[in-house]
Structure 1
């Protein structure tokens, strides 16, 4: 099985801002404050694109 790891900065307070939510049927989405900002089924997988879409929300 493939292992996925997410590294985040604890002193920056990201632990309280990140949640992993289980799903099925190959879903992979990124949602910020209820707004879906990236969806694997609609968007090219580009980590920089994901970050560009999330960054304005986290300031």
Structure 2
């Protein structure tokens, strides 16, 4: 049986109307990691939540880190799903 690829979840607050932000981030992740991920799921939540998880591990939480730039999330997702992989200009932005 082939190794199962990780899944990313973007949980967003429906009351805050953060679906467009979550969908945009999901698109960014799918574009960058199209061959590395099983899926990117949008998960409706409440209470001001905006979290990104790889499998069951939180890699970004608005509560702790504020709203992310896509580059920041891509780097954290990359560290879990494809360590050592260059993100090109996304990595250079941090240098």
TM superposition score normalised by structure 2? 0.48
RMSD: 2.4
Counterpart position of 1:21: 43
Return structure 1 stretches of 4+ with deviation > 4 angstroms.
none
Question: After superposition, what is the alpha-carbon deviation per residue over 1:23-48, rounded to whole angstroms, capped at 9, x for unaligned?
Answer: 00110000001000100010032322
2:59 equivalent among 34, 37, 42: 37
| Structure 1: gaps of 5 or more residues | none
Structure possessing the higher radius of gyration over alpha carbons: 2
Change (3 A) 1:22 1:56: same
Select the structure that is richer in strand.
2
Counterpart position of 2:3: none
* Matches of 1:2 and 1:38, distance apart in 2: 15
Select the structure that is richer in helix.
2
| Structure 2: gaps of 5 or more residues | 1-16, 83-95
TM superposition score normalised by structure 1? 0.69
Change (3 A) 1:40 1:3: closer
